[in-house]
Structure 1
Amino acid sequence: MIRSADTLFARLFGGALVAIFLAHLLAFTWFTMYGFPPPPPPEANNPQHQSAEFQGERPEPRTPPRKPPLFGGPVVPLFFQTITLVIAAWYGAKALSRPIQRLSEAAERLSENLDSPPLEVSGPREVRQAAQTFNLMQERIRDQVQQRGRMLAAVSHDLRTPLSRLKLRVEQIDEPKLHTQMSQDLNDMIGMLDATLTYLNEQRNSEDLQLFDLQALIDSLTENAQDNGDDVQCNGGCKPLKIQPMALRSCINNLIDNALRYAGQARVDIQDQDDHVTVAVIDNGPGIAVEHHETVFEPFYRLEGSRNRNSGGVGMGMTIARDAARRMGGDLTLEQTPGGGLTVLLDLPRR
């Protein structure tokens, strides 16, 4: 019964009643100890006092007046009420903001890791109900993601088997043109399947943030590309920052691969600032029109011209890169390279 009546309204209303009661109690105590003394009798007009002085008798000693109050009139109760109501308002604001802050922190943890600890069910009834609903939502999201992972594994297995059989049968086709066309279609299907599974698996697998040397990672990717004969250069440097190493490697690797695929060369510039680090992957290829700067991040979106299926992409590279950047609290945007080409800006916050 008591727990069911423990609501946020009851707590705030009870706190206000206690504040008013304490204000009146303090004002009553103050008036009892330091209240106004009764007015003194008019000694100059008192005939008994004048008779005693005339007869030479010592008048009775008078009681000394009490200490005058520091404040007077209604100022004192108003002062006490102000102090206590300010304290009650502070408590009420904390009681209202604390559950919202807890929900905000739990939502942030959930966005980074679906397996984060559930929200503690405590506090007034409304707060407990919100915490229980949030935990139920987290459990349902986790179940749906796990179910999707199981379905993806099954679809992957069921699709790869017939695709492999089709590739073997295509090799038996004697007509060169038909053989080439069917091989290209099968390779496209396999590539799209692999890219989709990679994208969904990266979304499912959570990775903790850790202090990592971003410059060393970019230097390693640049050297690997140069060893393969690719024209990739790196400029600038930065101090270590908290990131998800595997997600960041996937992101930058996709950006460099896109630049090499469509422009044949890439330059990686690193700018280290106090609150964030910017990694720019610059190429001088055909570029992308400004009106398509956002649509290229949609899954399987391919532009006409040089950025199409024949160049080797399936339209998932930029989607995977932006998703990885946003999982780390950053973002990925596109700009035009002066003189022609595309500049991809990866912005990562310092935590």
Structure 2
Amino acid sequence: MRAWPRSLSGRLALVLVVGMLAAQALTGTVWYDMRYGKAMEIPVRLAATRLADVTHMLDAVPAASLPAVLAAVNTPGFTLRRIDAPASVQAPLEHNTLLSSELFLDVLQQRLVRPTHHQARVLAVSLAHTGKRQGNWFSLLREPFPTGHFVVQLRLHDGSWLQADMDEGQAGMSTAPRKAAIDYLLRIYVLRIAAVLLLAWLAVRLVMQPLARLAQAADRLGDNIFSAPLATDGPTEVRKASTAFNAMQRRLIDNIAERTRFLAAVSHDLRSPITRLKLRAEMLSDEAQRDKFRRDLDEMDALVAATLTMVQDSGLHEQRQNVDIDSLLASLASDFAETGATVTIEGHAAPLPAYPRSLKRCLQNLVDNAIRYGHEAHIIVTQDSRQLTISVADKGPGIPADLLERALEPFYRVDASRNAGTGGFGLGLSIAQTVAQAHHGTLTLQNGAHGGLVANLTLPIFKSAVRS
């Protein structure tokens, strides 16, 4: 449905315009009846007056002279003939012709000297083109001198009946159909459509502004859970939606804070027994057992710390600002080089609006993951007008294709393809994905063409200025 607009404002405007046109098409029949009545008024009056005058003359002549007088008064546009009796059944007239028929009879009765001695009935009233061609509704829009055709049966004072077939025009007065049609179309359709479009635009703009503010607030909430709440003003429905949105935001903040407090409390409570166990492990006489206890306790301590760090990093508590991607990557490469790791960078990128600390943590996790399992990291930077892509490749064993998506889940480690002895708790990639989503980007994993794993971080480039 290509004609159906995608925006709500466009759909409302289209519905209003189509509805207005449909209503106007129905009310256009009123204009047609009025136009038909005006076009037929002069022919009706002239034909009725002419028939009344001829009737006066026929009433005055002897019956023997009536055939000769009828032959004398007959013309190509006015024919009288005697009939034995009027039609027994009269066909019903249409609504617009019925009005013209009533006007014809009224004028005829007014012009007759003794109307009670005469009886008349109108059998047909129709519109004809110039040149006696049969007319139709379109004649009103293109014929400057439309002609009315009338079939009337009339009783004379002596009781005999005549049938008159008459054609009568506008008496030289143009109906100016083209001008009338253009004036009607311009004022009724064009101006009304323009007015409806303007009113629809104003109405839709007033209605859509609260929805636009709600969409912007939802977008800000995705970037920063602690963004300013919506103003609770405007119509009742808008106030209810704003109040519900603010309540949802408060519940999200409370849930995140409660989760953080819970894990912080658990971390604090676990550190004390872990510390006591470490002290007791040092008192063991068996060196081998002491080393095993020490490694297990260190792993438990690191797991608690990593879990708390993940929860704290899941919500961004910093302002977005322009980040020099080249400098950030160079700094990471320098930091890892001090530990003896090899990090190479290929490509350059322009500064990008982002959350600096979170983005650094994301890239640091990707590089650390590549070094841990592939012993080195190769960073490839590509950028176009729409997005920035940072690919971190390693030379490790890679991940089975059916486990690539699961590798991004928290606490999931691909033991089948990764060495469990290298450490880690399966949180680095999950944290990196959370940061990517906070930047409206994506993080995907794929196996390299020549082995190893490639982590692709794609961040969109917004045309607008830095948002807070």
* TM > 0.5: yes
1:206: Cα distance to partner? 1.8
- CA-to-partner distance for each residue in 1:106-165, whole Å, 9 max, x for gaps? 111111112211112222211111111111111121222222222232222111111111
Distance of aligned partners of 1:151 and 1:202 in 2 relative to their CA distance in 1, 3 Å threshold: same
1:292 counterpart residue number: 403
Is 1:197 aligned to residue 308 of structure 2? Answer: yes
Partner of 1:8: none
What pairs up with 1:23-34 in 2 under 5 angstroms?
Answer: none
1:243 aligned partner, one-letter code: A
Matched, 1:256 2:398: no
The answer for the alignment partner of 2:245 in structure 1 is 134
1:181 aligns with 2:292: yes
Question: Secondary structure of 1:204's partner?
Answer: coil
2:230 corresponds in structure 1 to 119
Q: Deviations over 1:62-87 (max 9, x none)?
A: xxx9x999544853434444333333
- Higher RCO (C-alpha under 8 Å, 6+ residues apart): 1
Residue 175 of structure 1 and its aligned partner are, at CA, apart by 2.8
Q: CA deviation at 1:233?
A: 1.1
1: CA distance, partners of 2:316 / 2:198: 47
**Counterpart code for 1:105:** Q
| Separation of aligned partners in 1, 2:267 and 2:316 | 17
What is the match of residue 135 of structure 2?
A: none
- Number of matched pairs: 306
Rounded to whole Å, the distance in 1 between the matches of 2:273 and 2:207 is 59
1:192-243 Cα shifts (integer Å, max 9, x gaps) = 1111111111123422211110110101111222222112111111111111
How many percent identity over aligned positions? 36
Retained in 2: the 8 A contact 1:112–1:206?
no
Q: Which moved more, 1:298-307 or 1:329-338?
A: 298-307
- Of residues 130, 154, 173 in structure 1, which corresponds to 2:265? 154
CA distance in 1, matches of 2:308, 2:340: 29
2:309 counterpart of 1:206: no
Q: Choose from 353, 364, 367 the match for 1:242.
A: 353
CA contact (8 A) 2:224 2:317 kept: yes
How far apart are residue 176 of structure 1 and its match? 3.8
8 Å contact kept, 2:226–2:253: yes
Give the match's secondary structure for 1:343: strand
Q: Measure the CA separation in 1 of the matches of 2:365 and 2:193.
A: 62
**What code does the residue aligned with 2:204 have?**
A
Is the counterpart of residue 335 in structure 1 residue 446 in structure 2?
A: yes
**Aligned equivalents of 1:291, 1:216: Cα separation in 2:** 36
The CA RMSD measured in Å over matched residues stands at 3.2
Q: Contact conserved, 2:225 with 2:316, CA < 8 A, in 1? A: no
1:281 match: secondary structure: strand
Residue type at the aligned position of 1:293 = L
Question: d(CA) in 2 for partners of 1:202 and 1:70?
Answer: 74
Equivalent residue letter for 2:278: K
1:246 Cα deviation from its structure 2 partner: 0.4
Give the SS at the match of 1:329: coil
Q: Which amino acid is the alignment partner of residue 246 of structure 2? A: N
The unaligned stretches of length 5 or more in structure 2 are 1-11, 25-30, 50-173, 463-468
The alpha-carbon deviation at position 299 of structure 1 amounts to 1.0
SS in 2 for 1:200: helix
Q: Report the Cα distance in structure 1 between the residues aligned to 2:326 and 2:357, rounded to whole angstroms.
A: 14
Contact 1:329/1:348 (<8 A) preserved: yes
Aligned residue in 1 for 2:461? 350
Secondary structure at 2:344's aligned position in 1? strand
Deviation at residue 259 of structure 1 after TM alignment: 1.0
Whole-angstrom distance in 1 between the partners of 2:420 and 2:310: 18
User: Are positions 1:77 and 2:192 aligned together?
Assistant: no
- Counterpart CA distance in 1 for 2:178 and 2:239 is 49
**Distance of 1:78 and 1:287 partners within structure 2:** 68
Aligned to 1:165: 276
Report how far residue 302 of structure 1 moved. 1.0
Moved more, 339-348 or 225-234: 225-234
Moved more, 168-177 or 83-92: 83-92
CA deviation after TM superposition for structure 1 residue 100, in Å? 2.2
Amino acid at match of 1:111: G
Alignment counterpart, residue 387 of structure 2, candidates 258, 272, 276:
276
Q: What TM-score, normalized by structure 2, do the two folds share?
A: 0.59
Gaps of 5+ in 1: 1-11, 25-30, 46-64
Instruction: Find the counterpart in structure 1 of residue 78 from structure 2.
Output: none
1:143 to 249, 254, 258: 254
Moved more, 330-339 or 300-309: 300-309
Secondary structure at the aligned position of 2:314 is classed as helix
Question: Helix, strand or coil: the match of 1:271?
Answer: strand
What CA distance in whole angstroms lies between the structure 2 residues aligned with 1:328 and 1:79?
A: 48
> Is this contact kept in 2: 1:302–1:308, CA < 8 A?
no
Instruction: Provide closer, same or farther for how the CA distance between residues 78 and 229 of structure 1 changes in structure 2, counting only shifts above 3 A.
Output: closer
